[in-house]
Structure 1
Amino acid sequence: MEWNGFSKDKIYDSTWFVNEELSVEISNKQVIVQKKIEAKYKQVKWVDVKINNQTKKIEANLRINLKEKENNTSLTFDDLLVFAKNGVKKYWERNSNRIVGTSIQIHKDYYEFFINPINTKEKSMPTIGVYSLNSDYGRSRNWWASRKLYYNEGESFHIYLEISKYYPAEYHPISKEEGTIEDKKEFEYTATHEIGHEILQAYGGKYEHSYIHKGSSTLFTQKVKPNSHLPSSGEIDLMKYYKDEYLVLRDKNNFYARVVAEEKDVIGLAWLTKLQF
C-alpha cells in the first residue's frame, strides 16, 4: 500500500515526520495494522513546509540566523530584525498579496506560497553577522567564508544627492527623512537577497548558481554581465544582478513592487524539505 503523506483533510506537514514519531493505522474489514514512521530531512534542516491541497496554499517556516556584530546607528538590532523578516515575507512569498508573482505551479495546480521567517540558532541557516553603520558603508555578502549584512544609515540620501549633481533634470535630492525610509527598504531587499543565497546554494549549487547570481554576474569580481538587463515590465528576479541601476533610482517603488523570488527558486525551497526514511 502506498501513502502520499497527506491526511484525510488533504494536508501535508513535514514536521509530522521529523519532529515526532508518527503512528499510521492501516485497516480494512479483516485486519488493522499499526506502523511507526520516522524520518529526517535529506537536504537541509532549516525549513519546514505545510501543504493544503484543499485551499491550494503552501506555508513554509524558514529558520534564519542573524546576529548583531556592530551598531553605530540609532536603530536597534531588533529594528533591523523586523526589517529583515518583513523583507523575507515580501520577496519570497508568491501569493495574491502581490502585484506580480502571485503563485507557483506544481504539476497542473497553482498554489499560493507563504513564508514565516524565524530568527533562531536551532536548526537554522549559517549565521549572518549584522552591521549597522552610519559611515564607511559596507557591502553585504553571503559566501561560505564571509557572511555579512550591512544596514548603511544615510547612504540613500547621499546617493541621490550625488547623482542629482550630474543628472539634475532626471534625479532630485531627497530629504534625510525620505533617505531613512529608502535605507529601510534597501535593507529589507538586501537582507532577503543575502538570505536567498543560502537557498540557491542548497538546491542549485554554490559556484554554478548562487555565487554567479543565476548567470547574471561574474564569479570572482561579481560584475554584472552586459546582457543582464532590468525587465521593463513584470517580475524582477530577487536573486539576479542587473546593469540598469539608474532605472531603479528613477522609480524605486516600482522596482520594489516587482521584485520577487522566481517561481523556480520558491519551488526549490519547498523541495529542500525532502524526507529520508
Structure 2
Amino acid sequence: MDVVIARERELGEIVADEIATLIDARPDAVLGLATGSSPLRIYDAVAQRVRDGELTLARARGFMLDEYVGLPPGHPCRYSTVIDEDFVSRVDFAPGAVRGPDGDAADLTRACADYEDSIREAGGVDLQILGIGTDGHIAFNEPGSSLASRTRVKTLTAQTRTDNARFFGGDIDAVPYHCLTQGLGTIMDARHIMLVATGDAKAEAVAHLVEGPVSARWPATILQHHPRVSVLVDDAAASRLALVDYYRHTQAHRHLVS
C-alpha cells in the first residue's frame, strides 16, 4: 500500500497522471468511477487534459460503484446523473461507454448479477477510483459488510444517510434507505485502486484503513490485502496516522509506482 500525502489541489493531478499513463498504454482501458466529493478534483484534472487535447477517453469504458434504489431517471441525486454532470459530459467517452447498476430494475438481484457479468465481460477494471466514508465504508459497503461480497442490494446506515443529506438539501428524509453497490470482493478485483481522502473528518477512517487490523467493522481495511493500492491524502486526513513520518520519508525517496 502506497501512502501519498500532498496538498488537496495536487491529489487530483496525481491520479490524472496515472489515468493518462494507463490510457497511453491501453486506450481501451476500463475505469472504475466513484461519485461524491473526493473524486471531483480528479475529474476536473482529467477533463482539463481532454479539453487541451492531451488525453482522450474515446475508447475507454467506465463502471460506477453504486446507485440509489428508487430515485427516478434524471433525479439530480441519482448517481448516473451525478457522474454525467461531474465527469462524463465533460470528456469524450463514447455514448454508452459508462454504465452503473440499475436501481430501477424490477428484479434487483438479477440486476446485480448482470452488472457483475458486464464488468467481467469488459475484462475487469484497470483503475478504480475510491473515496472513503467517515465510518470506513467504500462504495456503499457499510460496516459489517462481508469482505468477500459481490454487487448486491444494501441498506444504508444512519451515518451514511446523515453524511449524504447534504446532497439532498440537508433533508435526511429524502435520502434513500437502499442502494445497489459493488461488493468488497468486486472492488478487490480491480488491478489498481486509488483512494483519495481529505479533511479532518476522514482521519479516523484513514488511520484504520492504513494501520488498523482488517475488519468488517471498517470495510476499507480489506484493501490491505490488495497488491496495488495507492492511498492519497492531505495533511488533515493523514493527521491520525502513527507512521506519518515514515510515509513522508518513503514518498520523498521514491515516486508513486505506475
Q: TM > 0.5 between the two?
A: no
Bigger radius of gyration among the two: 1
The answer to which structure, 1 or 2, has the higher relative contact order (CA under 8 A, 6+ apart) is 2
Q: Which one has the bigger helix percentage?
A: 2
Q: Which one has the bigger strand percentage?
A: 1
Give me the TM-score of the superposition, normalised by structure 1.
0.28
Give me the TM-score of the superposition, normalised by structure 2.
0.29
